[in-house]
């Protein structure tokens, strides 16, 4: 019998990892006739299958007030505790309404009981699950102890209770093996490893009429080589290494294109990159105004492309991140059969690299050998095609929808006792 699945988070909108992976989970569940419904503070899902509660979003003024009062402090005022309880009680009532209205039978909590971007929401979820004993899955993307900003706080009691909660009706899933170990060690909670996935059984969409002019629209000529950095502009993305790569390649035909916006850490890193590119003679282009969550026209009538419109036009993906919870851009590069330069960040080195992918990997710095391997991938088409086909086959075995389907079958069976998928 099909289940009615309720996805709950602070946000299901845009290109963040939680929104993207949640949509993939819903697609696999839909393939097996389960129906998904959505609850969050910001949504881009259809109105008839979703409930938007503004206070569930971490950007709501009430939540921002609470966050300002609890992070970076070691004590909290009585009024702060009262506000947390009041908002939590309100959110809990909205979850009851959501579950009743859509007749939800299983909840899937997407990171809302993992990282306390919205503390009252995590508390509300915990109390709801304790009061109803509803079967639930908590999909954890990044725990609060992985972020320095949450280390000093005045809410250890709430963090211990709800991030994540421990209860028999809640099954836990994590996106990397380090998180699995940390959850067991810190909380005594077992979990199932569920890596991020893509639909490798089906090839990506071909370039169509809308996206055929990407290169000319961002100012590239026919002979230019497009090195795409498909990330936000924040220090942990290591974009300075991409600039160094282009400099070491030593030819003006190589252009470095950064797709995403400046992150929430200010403009200082962006300005440093601009200065570094100028002093290195590197053609660096930020095209964030031409890339959006969906295809559309801007106020001046210019095309705005999706990120997936860019991948087929890229000659190389630059991904020299210092830290990633998993690394969706890596999978996307393999999916579109574009060569990728990657830094050996911890999760890649432990979870992904042992699968046997063949690609240039740097260990925190670029060497001449790595640069020459990149050059060969760019200039030797036969070699590049062999490598890309091989990597695609590996990804199909370990990171396809079939892998997710098997894991979801286990998760749902564990909490319902029934075989659903």
CATH code for the domain in which residue 324 is found: 3.40.50.2000
The pLDDT value recorded for residue 1 is 67
* Same structural domain, 37 and 122: yes
Residue 204 lies inside a defined structural domain of this protein: no
Region 78-99: what's the mean pLDDT?
98
Task: Evaluate if residue 420 carries a pLDDT over 60.
Answer: no
Residues spanned by the domain of 410: 4-197+401-416
Dist. CA 391–CA 338, nearest whole Å: 10
| Burial letters 257-279, b for 16+ CB under 10 A, else e | bbbbebbeeeeebbeebeebbee
* Same structural domain, 90 and 103: yes
Residue 205 lies inside a defined structural domain of this protein: no
Q: How many helices (H) and strands (E) does the chain have?
A: 15, 17
* Same structural domain, 189 and 223: no
Q: Are 37 and 102 in contact (CB under 8 A)?
A: yes
| pLDDT-based confidence at residue 294 (cuts at 50, 70, 90) | confident
Region 212-239: what's the mean pLDDT?
93
Residue with the bigger pLDDT between 309 and 31: it is: 309
Quick one: 254 exposed, middle or buried, by C-beta within 10 A (0-12, 13-18, 19+)? buried
* Same structural domain, 160 and 284: no
| pTM, rounded to two decimals | 0.88
User: What is each CA distance from 5 to 1, 13, 24, in whole angstroms?
Assistant: 12, 18, 13
The pLDDT value recorded for residue 76 is 95
* Same structural domain, 129 and 38: yes
| pLDDT tens for each residue of 188-200 | 999 999 999 999 9
* Same structural domain, 182 and 224: no
* Same structural domain, 393 and 405: no
* Same structural domain, 135 and 192: yes
* Same structural domain, 90 and 187: yes
Region 142-154: what's the mean pLDDT?
93
* Same structural domain, 325 and 257: yes
The pLDDT value recorded for residue 32 is 76
* Same structural domain, 189 and 264: no
| pLDDT tens for each residue of 345-376 | 999 999 999 999 999 999 999 999 999 999 99
The pLDDT value recorded for residue 419 is 63
* Same structural domain, 192 and 266: no
The pLDDT value recorded for residue 263 is 61
């Amino acid at each position: 019998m099909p289940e009615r699945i309720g996805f709950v988070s602070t946000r299901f909108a845009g290109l963040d990892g939680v929104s993207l992976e949640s949509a993939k989970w819903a697609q696999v569940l839909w393939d097996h006739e389960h129906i998904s419904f959505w609850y969050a503070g910001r949504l881009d899902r259809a109105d008839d299958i979703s409930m938007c509660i503004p206070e569930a979003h971490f950007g709501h003024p009430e939540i921002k007030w609470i966050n300002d009062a609890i992070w970076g402090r070691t004590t909290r005022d009585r009024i702060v505790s009262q506000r947390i309880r009041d908002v939590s009680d309100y959110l809990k009532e909205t979850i009851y309404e959501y579950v009743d209205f859509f007749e939800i039978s299983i909840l899937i909590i997407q990171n809302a009981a993992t990282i306390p971007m919205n503390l009252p929401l995590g508390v509300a979820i915990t109390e709801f699950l304790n009061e109803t004993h509803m079967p639930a899955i908590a999909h954890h993307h990044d725990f609060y102890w992985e972020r320095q900003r949450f280390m000093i706080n005045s809410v250890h009691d709430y963090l211990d209770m709800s991030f994540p909660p421990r209860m028999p009706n809640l099954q836990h899933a994590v996106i990397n093996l380090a998180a699995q170990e940390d959850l067991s060690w810190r909380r005594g909670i077992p979990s199932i490893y569920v890596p991020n996935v893509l639909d490798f059984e089906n090839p990506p969409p071909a370039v169509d009429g809308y996206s055929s002019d990407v290169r000319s629209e961002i100012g590239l000529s026919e002979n230019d080589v497009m090195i795409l950095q498909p990330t936000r502009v924040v220090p942990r993305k290591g974009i300075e290494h991409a600039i160094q790569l282009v400099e070491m390649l030593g030819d003006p035909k190589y252009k470095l294109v950064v797709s995403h916006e400046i992150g929430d850490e200010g403009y200082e890193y962006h300005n440093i990159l601009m200065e570094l590119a100028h002093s290195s003679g590197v053609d660096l282009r930020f095209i964030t105004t031409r890339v959006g969550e969906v295809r559309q026209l801007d106020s001046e009538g210019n095309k705005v492309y999706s990120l997936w419109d860019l991948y087929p036009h890229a000659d190389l993906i630059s991904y020299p991140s210092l830290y990633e919870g998993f690394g969706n851009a890596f999978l996307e590069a393999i999916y579109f059969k574009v060569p990728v330069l990657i830094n050996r960040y911890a999760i890649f080195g432990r979870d992904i690299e042992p699968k046997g992918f063949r690609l240039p990997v740097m260990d925190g710095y670029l060497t001449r050998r790595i640069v020459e391997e990149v050059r060969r991938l760019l200039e030797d088409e036969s070699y590049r095609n062999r490598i890309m086909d091989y990597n695609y086959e590996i990804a199909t075995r370990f990171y396809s929808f079939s892998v997710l389907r098997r894991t979801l079958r286990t998760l749902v069976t564990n909490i319902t006792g029934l075989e659903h998928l």
